Amino acid sequence: MYRIFILALIAVLSGCSGTTMVRSSYSQPEKIVQAERWEPIMEGSKINVDVNYQYEMKLSNGRLLRQGDWNESLKPFVSSYSQEKADTIIDGLTRYYWEYDKVDKKIKYEPLRYMSEPYSNSKYVSMQGSIEKGKAVGLLKLKFYGSSWIFADSVKIVADDLTWQSPKMNFYRDNYGGNVWEYAYLDISKPEYRDIANKIASSKEVIIRFQGKQYYSDLTLSQRMKSDLMAMLKAIDVVNQK
């Protein structure tokens, strides 16, 4: 009798499976992604902005720009230049972290701080300085980053066919969370150091050796670092042109 009851129950459940055992076909609505729509950031500019990008100003050089920074600082600054020169300045500055200093009345820039960038928690070569009307200042920044001090006091640079040994340099040092960094500057207002910066930016392969008395560490520059450096060097030249 029990066996008959079980068989009957199975038959009933099987007959109902068309309604009770069917998985829900509900799915979340598809996220609508708007197609890119590029327009010049300024009339006549060759630098475009994706007007459908919802968060910040997404530029055609791959960088992001806050709308407020553009309207309040950068646009008024570049508006006094020809469009070609303005594009060069925009391309250079937007590859860096920058802000307008209302006290000194100049734009100050340094390597990008974002975690997704190659200048965060890493060895790098980049630029740091300031830009104001008719005057741009640039320092080539060479930074070692690692888990142990090397007590660097000079660098050796190999850029394609160039090999250059620096004199003794003043390295700044700091540490946090088990990591250390040591960095020094070359003032590109000096022709020798400007030539070095140009060579680094334009060479196919660049290796920077951070040298201490006992230890050293090598950095092979990425294309991104070289192109960012070249863009800022061009921006500096445009601003300083008489």
Residue 213's pLDDT band (boundaries 50, 70, 90)? very high
Does residue 27 carry a pLDDT above 90?
A: no
Token couple for 31: 């996220």
> Which of 115-124, 138-147, 229-238 shows the lowest mean pLDDT across its residues?
115-124
Average pLDDT over residues 26-51: 81
- C-alpha–C-alpha distance, residues 188 and 200, integer Å: 12
Cβ atoms within 10 Å of 205's Cβ, excluding its own: 10
Q: How much is the pLDDT for 114?
A: 83
Does residue 66 carry a pLDDT above 80?
A: yes
Q: In angstroms, what is the C-alpha Rg of the chain?
A: 28
Q: Give percent above pLDDT 90 in the chain.
A: 81
Q: How much is the pLDDT for 37?
A: 95
Q: Give percent above pLDDT 70 in the chain.
A: 86
Q: Are 159 and 226 in contact (CB under 8 A)?
A: no
Specify the pTM.
0.84
Q: How much is the pLDDT for 26?
A: 42
**C-alpha dihedral sign at 63, 68, 71, 76:** negative
Residue 70's pLDDT band (boundaries 50, 70, 90)? very high
With 0-12 / 13-18 / 19 or more C-beta atoms within 10 angstroms meaning exposed / middle / buried, residue 178 is exposed
Domains of the chain: 111-228 (2.60.40)
Q: What backbone phi and psi angles, to 5 degrees, belong to 223?
A: -60, -35
